[in-house]
Chain A
Amino acid sequence: MAQQLLEVTDLHTQFFTRDGVVRAVDGVTFEVAAGETLGIVGESGCGKSVTALSLMRLIPQPPGKIVKGKIMFDGADVLKMDDDEVRGIRGNNIAMIFQDPMTSLNPVLTISRQISEALELHLKMDKSEARKRTIELLDLVGIPSAKKRVDDYPHQFSGGMRQRVMIAMALSCNPKLILADEPTTALDVTIQAQILDLLKNLAREFRTAFILITHDLGVVAGMTQRIHVMYAGKIVEKADTGELFANPKMPYTWGLLRSIPRLDERRKAKLVPIEGLPPDLIAPPPGCRFEPRCQYRRDVCHEKEPPLEHIPNSKPDHEARCWGTQQGGWLVDTDWRKEVGDTRIIEEIKQEVAQLPPEPKPGDVPPPPAAI
């Protein structure tokens, strides 16, 4: 434990809104070792991005606030630092790659000025040094004829290239940890693969720790050593990447896995979406947070929240938050791959939805399915 680069303990981040307190991150504990790549996976709105922003203390305040918890980075508590100290860490020790490269670059500044900014700020480089380093960085992330392109503006770059620029920015000060918040969501599939490749190589080359945040299990599969699955502000399953794909132990993870298309599926298997929507984080369900949507639920799930615990029949560091798969649970021997799912419950939910009052405008687009 002593060698962990980042230790997050019992982190609570809440947003104080007019409708009530939104518990966006509700008691999250995890750690990242130096040079390790950790994946955080979950649906939209389950607290992944808020977790990442909390690590850098970038939560907009008000309405947001980190209410409780401890974030130890490299032996110092980020939450106890003053503003100057935090600013000294941002970009220097912890860097971030944002989701949408189209909007994350300042349209009126040249690429060189934007990348140089962190260099001048943290490494106290002068203009010409920073420029030289910028060209090196652009070369590194695979921008062709970097020397000519440093003085271009963002609008002269394509989406994939801009994300490469964002990666170059994140790498500029050799940070120990890079948070990549859905780095490939805004890109098309072929570019996605290139960017992921690039990230993987850079992580290996610089021994930078990565936290890769995504809703796409396919993205984390080839990238990460460990995966944490988040749901409704909590971590619901922690496992090594191989273990998680081979032996998942939480019905939510099963649902996620069922809803991604697989190339190696021989039969024409249907994708099974997870029915329903994530819970309202102002008033989360009393028991297990996934209970209302879980097709394996029992009474105990509604009454008591399961702890995040080691699961029998799994590797030692595999933990899940589920009564069913824990010692003596009713799901211990269930093979999720064979279970198509209890269609009865799906039917039930469909009927409930059908009874809801119709949308005000008939021409409206129906709400998107709750698949990830």
Chain B
Amino acid sequence: MAAAVTAQDKRVAELNVISRKQRSLWGDAFYRLIRNRAALVGLFVIAFAALLAIFAPLISPYDPLEQHGKDGLMEPIWTQAFGSKFTNPAYVFGTDTLGRDNLSRLIYSSRVSLIIGFVPVSIVVVIGLTVGMLAGYVGGVVDDFLMRVTDVVYAFPDLLFVIIIVATLRGTALGDAYDGLLVIFVGIAVVNWVGVARLVRGQVLSVKNREFVEAARAIGAGPGRIMRTHVFPNILAPVIVTVAFAIPGAMLTESVLSFLGIGIRPPTPTWGVMINEGFIVFSTTPWPVLLPSFCISIVLLAFTFVGDGLRDALDPRSKM
């Protein structure tokens, strides 16, 4: 009988210990994100593209700028099955007009795309967060001033504004820096920070009146500390989602500019540049256009999937 009692006591003791495994809010969100199949696929595609970009010199079979004069306009090897005679097993994805290897150019292009995706968007986030948090938290005249500036920038049509900036700066030191990469950074950052700033301001306005902010003030936290430890983590989720959608937007802008011939300077390979160059020979062979288009689509789709997944994962109302 005594043994039974101890066993039961043990059981009660076990029940009394709160033993559920801890998961932080972010851990929870990550769990929900990878449970989303589309987002998971997207993450893998992005990781794959990132690996290609980082190890491009090791992976690509040729120098992307090397011209194989005699082997111009080769078609990808799989077209052999459909009766194409212009294939060469040395160039799996074929070559362009100047005999440059398509595969190597595609791989190197992912570098530019990912840089365009991350660098200007980081600038956008920094500017947007600073402006939005200042406007939202300080309020008053500061808010009015910053938001009027935002409105002015917001009023310009995005792409047109970037085109104007890029075209105006063409030929200057800034315009030509890094094959025109720098000026595209600037253009994309200038038009995109306003969206983030507005979003952040709205979020800050709603968070700063929550009671826990007042509680933080009541324990003696100053404005800087309140913004950093109390307001910022609470507005992060929508900012992350916006960023996830801003990245493919920026990539697309670069491609459009390059396709129009005012983006990245050739010969630097980017998917936009490749489409632009391939367009001339489109009636002869579609591959120089199709291949980079396909790459753009896949990467943009991957980012959009991840963005969707993030939005669902970070929304506290969608508990799984």
Q: State the A residues within 8 Å of B (CB).
A: 56, 58, 83, 87-92, 95-96, 98, 100, 103-110, 113, 117-118, 121-122, 144-145, 148-149, 151-153, 166, 169, 172
Contacts and interface: CB of A to CB of B under 8 A. Distances in A.
B141 to A, nearest CB: 13
B210 A103 contact: yes
A5 B143 CA distance: 41
B215 A104 contact: yes
Which of B212, B222, B225, B233 counts the most chain A CB atoms within 10 A? B212
B275 to A, nearest CB: 43
Contact of A169 (B211, B219, B236): B219
Interface string B199-237: 000000000001110111111111001000110011010
Contacts of A144: 16, 18
B221 A121 contact: yes
A152 B234 CA distance: 17
Given A108-B234, A117-B229, A153-B24, A88 B220 contact: yes
A105 B212 contact: yes
B234 A106 contact: yes
B231 to A, nearest CB: 9
Interface in B3-31: 16-18, 22, 24-25
Interface of B: 16-18, 22, 24-25, 210-212, 214-222, 225, 229-230, 233-234, 236
19 contacts: A58-B217, A89-B220, A90-B217, A91-B219, A91-B220, A95-B218, A96-B218, A98-B214, A103-B212, A104-B214, A105-B212, A106-B234, A108-B233, A110-B24, A122-B220, A148-B17, A148-B18, A149-B18, A169-B215
Nearest to B213: A106
The 9 A-B residue pairs whose C-beta atoms are closest, nearest first, are A91-B219, A90-B220, A91-B220, A103-B211, A118-B219, A96-B218, A108-B233, A106-B212, A104-B215
B221 A117 contact: yes
B216 A117 contact: yes
Contact of A90 (B16, B219, B236): B219
B176 to A, nearest CB: 45
A31 B53 CA distance: 71
B233 to A, nearest CB: 4
Contacts of B17: 145, 148
Contact of A95 (B22, B212, B214, B219): B219
A108 B25 contact: yes
A151 B22 contact: yes
